[in-house]
Amino acid sequence: MITDVTDRTFDRLVEEATVPVLVEFWKPGCGSCRALLRQLVGVQEETAGKLLVVKMNVEENHQIPAELEISSLPVLALYRRGRFDRFIGGIGTREALLAQLTTLLDAHGAGDLDS
């Protein structure tokens, strides 16, 4: 299960994370958001200890989505060393997401997600 994060807990979670953090911004009733969440469960299982995957409901949390100027859903944001790094492609299969994350994190010296 993917952990929920709120405006209140977000900064502390991201800053204290010892691994990169992937955040899905979503809302209930968004079919694409639910489909992506299902794929992210697999990503989370395969990257345990190397990547922290969390989700934020934008209907209940407004501060962080506003700071990032999120205007469409679902959106994935990657944080490294406590700071926003980039948005990454949102819709895709577990395999496609893992390939994209591995490429991004290897390029920044964050290690191999596949091992």
**For position 13, which CATH number holds?**
3.40.30.10
Cβ-proximal residues to 17 (8 Å cutoff; 6+ apart), any chain: 52, 79, 82
CA distance 102 to 72: 25
* Residue 39 burial (CB count, 10 A): 19
Q: Which of 30, 37, 68, 99 is catalytic?
A: 30
Q: Which amino acid is at 76?
A: L
State the total domains in the chain: 1
Q: What is the pLDDT averaged over residues 25-42?
A: 94
Classify residue 113: in a domain, yes or no: no
**Could you tell me which of 19, 15, 16 has the C-alpha nearest to residue 113?**
19
pTM of the model as a whole: 0.90
pLDDT number for residue 14: 94
Task: Report which of residues 40 and 105 the model is more confident about.
Answer: 40
Query: Of residues 5, 33, 56, 75, which has the active-site annotation?
Result: 33
Is 81 among the domain residues?
A: yes
In a domain, 111, yes or no: no
Residue 53 has pLDDT above 50, yes or no: yes
Residue 17 lies in a domain: yes
The pLDDT, as a whole number, for residue 92 is 79
pLDDT value for 115: 43
Residue 34 lies in a domain: yes
Note whether residue 108 is domain-resident.
no
Domain that holds residue 84: 3-98
- Tell me the per-residue pLDDT of 75-115, one tens digit each, with 9 for 90 and over: 999 999 999 999 987 677 899 999 989 888 887 665 545 44
Q: Which H/E stretch holds residue 86?
A: strand 83-88
User: Which residues is 88 bridged to in the sheet?
Assistant: 76
Q: Is 4 a catalytic residue?
A: no
The pLDDT mean for the chain works out to 90
11 in a domain, yes or no?
A: yes
- Any domain includes 104: no
Q: Where do we find the tokens 């990032």?
A: 68
Q: Is 28 annotated as catalytic?
A: no
